């Protein structure tokens, strides 16, 4: 029989080869699985960042831009509805795979951008509370009606509204305008950088690209 001529070494080699091939294909499947999971994590982060960017851009367009050059913008910029964007928070830990791809700096950049977004949301809510709870009642007391021009000097405003309220609203409004514009720019930059990095890491797989064209002029 032909099996009589097969040496023990040949049998051992065949066993080893079979085991090695099984390990090779299993290892490749695991790497493919990890790669898909990392790509999915990157896509989710980009989706959340884009949702944040859309919220920032819409707020800037509807609340800040129309009143930014107003002489008393700290009054003119209206209060905004309460904002809770906890569902679009960024999971920085999901980007840990970037460390192995020499892109660890993008993790810290993403977390900084996330913090800016949260700061904007907090400022919107805080300023709106002051605007609705303290400013609007004062304006009603002095006979100001919404939609009418508020043409007063800073000295008159401080006399009518109080130095403390005026100072607080000016500080909150200036901070809100500045951090909103900065957050929009930071979001645009990190979304672009993450997309470019994703294309390098996953050249044969699809990485989401939203084609964001930048801020409205």
Please list the pLDDT of the chain residue by residue as tens digits (217 residues).
445 555 666 666 566 556 655 555 555 565 666 678 899 999 999 999 999 999 999 999 999 999 998 888 888 899 998 878 888 889 888 999 999 889 999 999 999 999 999 999 999 999 999 999 999 898 888 777 665 666 666 777 778 889 899 999 999 999 999 999 999 999 999 999 999 999 999 887 666 666 554 444 4
Please tell me whether residue 7 adopts helix, strand or coil conformation: coil
Q: Is the pTM of this model over 0.85?
A: no
How far apart CA 96 and CA 141 sit, in angstroms, is 56
The two three-digit tokens of residue 79, written as one number: 């209060």
Check the CA dihedral 6-12-18-20 and report its sign. negative
Task: With respect to residue 210, please indicate whether it lies within any of the assigned structural domains.
Answer: no
**Residue 154 CB: number of other CB atoms within 10 A?**
11
Task: With respect to residue 211, please indicate whether it lies within any of the assigned structural domains.
Answer: no
Task: With respect to residue 207, please indicate whether it lies within any of the assigned structural domains.
Answer: no
Task: With respect to residue 161, please indicate whether it lies within any of the assigned structural domains.
Answer: yes
Task: With respect to residue 212, please indicate whether it lies within any of the assigned structural domains.
Answer: no
Which residue range is the domain that position 118 belongs to?
2-201
Q: Break the chain down into helix, strand, coil percent, rounded to 5.
A: 75, 0, 25
Contact residues for 193 (Cβ-Cβ < 8 A; gap 6+): 106, 109
How far apart CA 84 and CA 44 sit, in angstroms, is 19
Contact residues for 176 (Cβ-Cβ < 8 A; gap 6+): 64, 77, 120, 123, 124, 127
- How many domains is the chain built from? 1
Task: With respect to residue 215, please indicate whether it lies within any of the assigned structural domains.
Answer: no
Task: With respect to residue 213, please indicate whether it lies within any of the assigned structural domains.
Answer: no
Task: With respect to residue 167, please indicate whether it lies within any of the assigned structural domains.
Answer: yes
């Amino acid at each position: 029989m032909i099996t009589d001529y097969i040496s023990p070494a040949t049998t051992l080699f065949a066993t080893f080869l079979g085991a090695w091939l099984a390990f090779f294909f299993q290892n490749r499947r695991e790497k493919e699985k990890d790669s898909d999971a990392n790509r999915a994590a990157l896509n989710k982060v980009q989706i959340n960042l884009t949702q944040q960017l859309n919220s920032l851009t819409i707020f800037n367009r509807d609340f800040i831009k129309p009143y930014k050059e107003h002489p008393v913008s700290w009054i003119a910029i209206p209060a905004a509805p309460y904002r809770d964007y906890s569902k679009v928070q960024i999971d920085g830990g999901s980007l840990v795979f970037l460390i192995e791809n020499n892109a660890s700096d993008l993790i810290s950049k993403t977390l900084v951008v996330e913090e800016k977004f949260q700061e904007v949301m907090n400022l919107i809510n805080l300023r709106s509370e002051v605007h609705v709870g303290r400013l609007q009642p004062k304006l009603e007391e002095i006979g100001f009606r919404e939609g009418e021009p508020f043409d007063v000097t800073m000295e008159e405003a401080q006399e009518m509204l109080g130095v403390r309220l005026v100072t607080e609203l000016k500080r909150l409004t200036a901070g809100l305008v500045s951090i909103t514009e900065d957050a929009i720019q930071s979001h645009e930059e990190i979304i672009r950088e993450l997309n470019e990095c994703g294309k390098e890491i996953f050249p044969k797989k699809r990485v989401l690209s939203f084609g964001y064209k930048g801020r409205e002029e």
